[in-house]
């Protein structure tokens, strides 16, 4: 492991452009449940009943209640050393594109903390492309207008004040298209990256899971950090086994 850490650090140090792709594992040490690992949400809940447009049409109150519960959980969580290390990396160096599948907003919070502690005015370079949306926003299911997440509405989703359709969390459900500008920017960054650093994702959900392959096919290297093997492991240049909260600060600096 120390040798792999050294190799990964050197690859990152020498890279001009780095794409970092994160998943739920990066927030696990903050107390945010993952989806598919032990204790993950999809081990107790069926995604078809909660995270599809059909589920929301069938039972908007159930889906809304589940997301309000998750918003409450996330409100109790704070960024961990993995988030902090990535945020500081993005503010210290040019050429870093952070892409997250997470909807918890913890990378944003880490970016603001890092900007404060480094005395940097603008935290934006450390804000990730959020390819699966963000829980801190709602979106109207009718007209698409985005608003800050509603903290009320325990008995079901509130109605849009513009068109009267129910609000929903501004996240991407199965079978829904990702915002083409957001996933397009991530794919562009993957194409030009010398290194794709993939942290805490099962790499099962497409198109996000295809980003490392784009880097690899354009002669970049892929470094994976995960507690367990994934479909990416076999083709990764380096695969580091361990918690992201410990391994990321070791390879990108803290």
Catalytic machinery residues: 132
- Residue 157, contacted partner among Zn ion, ligand BJW, none, CB below 5-8 A by kind: none
* Tokens read off for 104: 């918890």
Judged by CB under 5 A, the number of residues near Zn ion is: 7
| Burial (Cβ within 10 Å: 0-12, 13-18, ≥19) of residue 151 | exposed
Q: Which residues bind ligand BJW (CB under 6 A)?
A: 23-25, 28-29, 34-37, 40, 51, 101, 103, 132, 171-178, 200-202, 204-207, 226-228, 230, 243-244
140 and 60 Cβ atoms separated by less than 8 Å: no
**Omega before residue 207 within 30° of 0, cis:** yes
Q: CB count, 10 Å around CB of 145?
A: 14
Cα three-residue angle 14-113-23, rounded to 5 degrees: 60
Strand partners, 191: none
* Tokens read off for 139: 């979106």
Span of 86-94, 141-149, 176-184, 210-218 interacting with Zn ion by CB under 5 A? 141-149
Rounded to a whole number of angstroms, the minimum distance from the CB of residue 40 to ligand BJW is 5
CA distances from 167 to 66, 75, 160, 194 (A): 14, 20, 6, 41
Rounded to a whole number of angstroms, the minimum distance from the CB of residue 159 to Zn ion is 8
* Residue with smaller CB distance to ligand BJW, 90 or 131: 131
209 and 203 Cβ atoms separated by less than 8 Å: yes
* Residue with smaller CB distance to ligand BJW, 21 or 91: 21
Rounded to a whole number of angstroms, the minimum distance from the CB of residue 116 to ligand BJW is 25
Rounded to a whole number of angstroms, the minimum distance from the CB of residue 11 to ligand BJW is 19
By CB under 5 A, residue 161 contacts Zn ion: no
Rounded to a whole number of angstroms, the minimum distance from the CB of residue 5 to ligand BJW is 14
Strand partners, 140: 167
Among 18, 87, 115, 140, binds Zn ion (CB under 5 A): 140
53 and 228 Cβ atoms separated by less than 8 Å: no
* Tokens read off for 134: 């963000």
* Residue with smaller CB distance to Zn ion, 148 or 234: 148
- Residue 232, contacted partner among ligand BJW, Zn ion, none, CB below 5-8 A by kind: none
- Residue 163, contacted partner among Zn ion, ligand BJW, none, CB below 5-8 A by kind: Zn ion
Binding site for Zn ion (CB under 5 A): 140, 142-143, 160, 162-163, 165
């Amino acid at each position: 492991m120390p040798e792999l850490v050294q190799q990964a650090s050197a690859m990152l140090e020498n890279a001009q452009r780095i794409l970092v792709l994160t998943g739920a594992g990066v927030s696990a040490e903050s107390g945010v449940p993952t989806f598919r690992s032990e204790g993950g949400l999809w081990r107790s809940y069926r995604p078809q009943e909660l995270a599809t447009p059909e589920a929301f049409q069938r039972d908007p109150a159930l889906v809304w209640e589940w997301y309000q519960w998750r918003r409450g959980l996330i409100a109790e969580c704070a960024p961990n050393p993995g988030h902090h290390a990535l945020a500081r990396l993005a503010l210290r160096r040019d050429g870093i594109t952070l892409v997250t599948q997470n909807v918890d907003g913890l990378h944003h919070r880490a970016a603001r903390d890092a900007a404060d502690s480094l005395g940097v005015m603008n935290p934006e370079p450390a804000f990730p492309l959020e390819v699966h949306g963000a829980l801190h926003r709602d979106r109207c299911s009718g007209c698409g207008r985005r608003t800050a997440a509603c903290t009320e509405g325990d008995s079901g989703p509130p109605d849009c004040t513009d068109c009267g359709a129910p609000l929903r969390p501004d996240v991407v459900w199965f079978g829904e298209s990702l915002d083409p500008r957001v996933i397009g920017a991530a794919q562009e960054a993957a194409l030009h990256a010398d290194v794709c650093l993939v942290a805490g994702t099962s790499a099962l959900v497409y198109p996000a899971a295809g980003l490392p392959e784009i880097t690899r096919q354009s002669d970049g290297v892929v470094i994976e950090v995960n507690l367990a093997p994934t479909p990416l492991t076999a083709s990764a240049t380096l695969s580091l086994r361990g918690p992201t909260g410990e391994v990321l600060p070791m390879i990108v600096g803290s």
